[in-house]
Amino acid sequence: MELRRLKTRLKTAVRGYKLLKDKSDEMIRRFMGYIRLNKTLREESDGEISAALRAFMLARGMMTPEEGMSAVAMPACALNLKAETDNVMGLVVPKLSIEEAAAKELYPYGFVTTNSELDNSISRLSGLMQKIVRLAEVEKICNMLAAEIEKNRRRVNALEYVMIPQIKETIKFITMKLDENERGNLIRLMKVKAMIENNKAK
Q: Are 58 and 117 in contact (CB under 8 A)?
A: yes
Could you tell me where the beta strands, DSSP code E, fall in the chain?
A: 79-88, 91-100
Amino acid, res. 28 = I
State pLDDT tens for residues 76-132: 667 788 889 998 888 899 998 887 655 556 666 666 666 677 777 777 777 788 888
* More confident of the two residues 8 and 109: 8
* Average pLDDT over every residue of 43-55: 86
pLDDT digits (tens, 9 = 90+) for 128-184: 888 888 999 999 999 999 999 999 999 999 999 999 999 999 999 999 998 888 888
- Residues 24 and 8: their CA atoms lie apart, in Å, by 24
Q: At what angle do helices 2-61 and 164-201 cross, to 10 degrees?
A: 170
